[in-house]
Amino acid sequence: MNVLKNQGVKNFILLRLPCVGRVSPTFFLKALALGITRLVVIPCEEDYCRFKEGSRISTRRFLAIQNLLHQLGFGKDVFTIIRKLRKVHIDTNRCIGCGDCAYICPYDAIKIVTPGVAQINLNVCSGCGACAPVCPSIAIIPEGFEYESMSRSISNYNSFIRKMKSERKTPMVLVFCCQWSEFSALDKNQGDLSKDNVVILEIPCSSRVDSLHILEAFYSGFDGVLIVTCKEGECKLEEGNEKAKERVLSLKKLLAQVNLENRLEICFTSPKYVGEFDTYISSFLEKIGSLSKNS
């Protein structure tokens, strides 16, 4: 959580919620009573709240809590509100002005300007990252989800996967998980292997999934790749799940040439359906395990 580190917070307990507006003032007071020295709340920017008015309503509640804590003698820093929406940036030295990013952006946040390079309106950008996978020159940099860093995260598992397979601990599955479609799994340390040999990588939106990263996952030794996205019609960032679905279907046609098409899947879920994510993971592991035995 770079947002917290930039605030000088080194040791923290991370708690993800479907919406911060659901947290009652009593919860914060009990946390302080237990010895927590500082509370940091990171709500959505108001224009991007998934639950419409949740961020705006919670702002009023948080201000009331701040006033209450001040009256109780707490310092100003004990309860901090940080609004932080990740953005994308463009390396103009790499940009070739093809316009693919401007075409795919659901918010019309990107324009091609003189002398033929893309320019992002950061006031409009949602940070979904849909533009990054379509950039042929890898000139677009989603904050916190840079192409090179995600590539390293995947390739770093190569030696570990070989070790696991030598011990017959298979299948190995990589999950690209949209941050809005699942919370409980993302509370775990990102990239850690679970008992089911599953690696979970968080992405800002399923539209951020890059076909090259999926191919790299297979090259690194993963037996299957699962894309976890919001349910159809419920994407927080416009049509990110639809873009991801189209990308997966297109890549499956390519993978069919090497008999890997059944090892790539996409599923649609939501935090409000408790246990649904685990069901999808179990089903996918069973499928990949069956494919591996028959290959």
- Per-residue confidence of the chain (295 residues) as pLDDT tens digits? 566 666 667 778 877 776 777 788 888 889 999 999 888 888 877 766 666 666 777 778 888 888 888 888 888 888 888 776 778 999 999 999 999 999 999 889 999 998 899 999 988 888 889 999 999 999 999 888 888 989 999 999 998 888 888 888 789 999 999 988 886 665 554 444 445 688 899 888 899 999 999 999 999 999 999 999 999 888 877 788 999 999 999 999 999 999 999 999 999 998 888 888 889 999 999 999 999 877 6
Query: Using an 8 Å Cβ cutoff, are 177 and 184 in contact?
Result: no
Q: Give yes or no: residues 25 and 69 share one domain.
A: yes
Task: Residue 180: give its domain's CATH number.
Answer: 3.40.50
R_g of the chain, CA atoms, integer Å: 21
CA-CA distance, 285 to 291, in Å (whole number)?
A: 10
Structure tokens at 277: 């994510």
The domain boundary residue, chosen from 48, 81, 114: 81
Helix (H), strand (E) at residue 288: helix 276-294
Question: What are φ and ψ of residue 43, in 5° steps?
Answer: -85, 165
CA-CA distance, 2 to 163, in Å (whole number)?
A: 32
Q: DSSP string spanning 104-168?
A: H-TT--EEEETTTEEEE-TTT-----TTGGG-TT--EEETT--HHHHHHHHHTTHHHHHHHHHTT
Task: Spell out the residues 6+ positions from residue 75 whose beta carbon is closer than 8 angstroms to its own.
Answer: none
Q: Give yes or no: residues 239 and 286 share one domain.
A: yes
Q: Give yes or no: residues 242 and 151 share one domain.
A: yes
Q: Give yes or no: residues 279 and 173 share one domain.
A: yes
- Looking at the 3D structure of the chain, how many domains does it have? 3
Q: Give yes or no: residues 232 and 157 share one domain.
A: yes
Burial class (CB in 10 A: 0-12, 13-18, 19+), 272: exposed
Residue 28's closest CA among 51, 73, 72, 62? 62
The structure's pTM equals 0.78
Peptide bond into 43 cis (omega under 30): no
Structure tokens at 213: 């990263």
Q: Give yes or no: residues 132 and 196 share one domain.
A: no
Half-sphere exposure of 177 (CA within 13 A, CB side): 27
- Residue appearing with tokens 């539209």: 207
Q: Give yes or no: residues 21 and 122 share one domain.
A: no
The domain boundary residue, chosen from 81, 102, 121: 81
The domain boundary residue, chosen from 107, 122, 142: 142
Query: Using an 8 Å Cβ cutoff, are 188 and 112 in contact?
Result: no
Q: Give yes or no: residues 173 and 269 share one domain.
A: yes
Structure tokens at 240: 């990110």
Q: Give yes or no: residues 101 and 45 share one domain.
A: no
Burial class (CB in 10 A: 0-12, 13-18, 19+), 24: exposed
Q: Give yes or no: residues 158 and 271 share one domain.
A: yes
Q: Give yes or no: residues 284 and 151 share one domain.
A: yes
Query: What is the pLDDT, as a whole number, of residue 63?
Result: 85
Neighbour-count burial for 247-257, b at 16+ CB within 10 Å, e otherwise: bbeebbeebee
Residue 203's closest CA among 258, 150, 273? 150
Q: Give yes or no: residues 162 and 280 share one domain.
A: yes
Parent domain of 287: 147-294
- Residue appearing with tokens 């995947």: 154
Structure tokens at 203: 């992405």
Strand partners, 235: none
Task: Residue 121: give its domain's CATH number.
Answer: 3.30.70.20
Query: Using an 8 Å Cβ cutoff, are 277 and 182 in contact?
Result: yes
